[in-house]
Amino acid sequence: MYRCPKCHEKLNKLANSYVCENHHCYDIAKSGYVNLCLHQRKAQGDNKEMVQARSEFLQQAYYEPLRQRLIALMKQYPADCMIDAGCGQGYYTNEIAKAMPFSEVYGFDLSKFALKKAAGKAENAYYALASVAELPLCDHCADILVSVFAPIYEKEFERLLKTNGCFIKVGPGPRHLWELKQLLYETVYENEAPKPMDCLKLIHEETLRYETDFEHSQHIQALLMMTPYAYRTPKSAIQRLESIGKLHTTLDFYIQVWQKQ
Ligand SMILES: C[S@@+](CC[C@H](N)C(=O)[O-])C[C@H]1O[C@@H](n2cnc3c(N)ncnc32)[C@H](O)[C@@H]1O
Ligand SMILES: [Zn+2]
């Protein structure tokens, strides 16, 4: 289903490469993902440390209720083709692929560190390095496109969706990590509501909110590394967080389904 990022012709798999009829060729890495990004020097995917921290955090079960909810929701929307745009290390993608064995599942990310992990664990999902701003896929190919805490390019997503296809968008709800933020900042603000989309129609919206206990300082550090707070917060506040071993906090997610009309 991939198209060539140079000439937009269909890519065919030949041994360990994808090749188009104009002989542009893209090798599949040993771990199983293909690099379809033409502007890699500008690529801004997560670095090794961020990916490692997220892997350590996700290995714990803290986000499992979100993953299960997402899978249950996706099963309501039958799909021949499903895209995870900004899939990271495939925490959601690989489970979705297992739960939807008759769908073709594609994950895209700009981080080769994340894709290496994703593809290493993949059973029936395909992974490629590409920007979600310009995905190497044909128009109207996807029944479902999902984005979990990843950048959103509405025009591009609309191009990829079939008519009646759905974009499932997951992000932080107003109270996400509230108690963690209270430890870091004097004044804490709720997260803003997600931005409306112009080209797609909102057909479903829900909130998933629960509280959890982080039992190890390592998990709290890994969680912090996954958030924008790791870079915005004064060192003294980070040190305060490092000194605590446990944290009770709220996890709050919005899940929206937008349909292409
Ligand atoms: C917060 S992580 C979420 C990853 C995954 N969806 C998850 O929830 O585990 C955001 C991901 O988006 C990727 N990313 C950032 N900008 C991107 C872009 N323009 N195109 C593709 N991936 C991008 C990063 O490399 C990172 O893996
Ligand atoms: Zn080509």
pLDDT value at position 228?
83
- Domain membership of residue 19 (yes or no) is no
Integer Cα distance of 181 and 249 in angstroms: 9
Which residue type sits at 37? C
- Domain membership of residue 15 (yes or no) is no
pLDDT value at position 215?
86
**Contact 132 CB / ligand 1 (< 6 Å):** yes
Q: Are 71 and 98 in contact (CB under 8 A)?
A: no
Ligand 2 mean position, distance from CA 118 (Å)? 26
Cα→Cα distances 185→100, 126, 176, 181, 250, Å: 42, 41, 14, 6, 16
Name the domain count of the chain: 1
First-residue to last-residue Cα distance in the chain: 23
- Domain membership of residue 6 (yes or no) is no
**Contact 193 CB / ligand 1 (< 6 Å):** no
Residue 46 CA, closest ligand 1 atom number? 25
Return the bridge partners of 107, or none.
Answer: 84, 127
Atom 13 of ligand 1: nearest residue by CA position: 86
- Domain membership of residue 30 (yes or no) is no
The dihedral formed by the CA atoms of 83, 87, 90 and 94, expressed in degrees to the nearest 10: -10
Return the bridge partners of 160, or none.
Answer: none
Integer Cα distance of 54 and 48 in angstroms: 10
- Domain membership of residue 139 (yes or no) is yes
The dihedral formed by the CA atoms of 196, 96, 110 and 114, expressed in degrees to the nearest 10: 130
- Domain membership of residue 170 (yes or no) is yes
Residue among 58, 106, 111 whose CB has most ligand 1 atoms within 8 A, to mutate: 111
Full pLDDT tens readout for the chain, 261 residues = 999 999 999 999 999 999 999 999 999 999 999 999 998 766 679 999 999 999 999 999 999 999 999 999 999 998 999 999 999 999 999 999 999 999 999 999 999 999 999 999 988 999 999 999 999 999 999 999 999 999 999 999 999 999 999 999 999 999 999 999 998 889 999 999 999 999 999 999 999 999 999 988 889 989 988 888 888 888 888 888 888 888 999 999 999 999 999
pLDDT value at position 173?
98
Which residue type sits at 170? V
Which residue type sits at 225? M
CATH number, position 253? 3.40.50.150
pLDDT value at position 42?
66
CA 255 to chain centre: 13
**Contact 146 CB / ligand 1 (< 6 Å):** no
- Domain membership of residue 187 (yes or no) is yes
- Domain membership of residue 27 (yes or no) is no
Find the domain containing 156 and state its range: 39-259
Residue 83: nearest ligand to its CA? 1
Residue 108 CA, closest ligand 1 atom number? 21
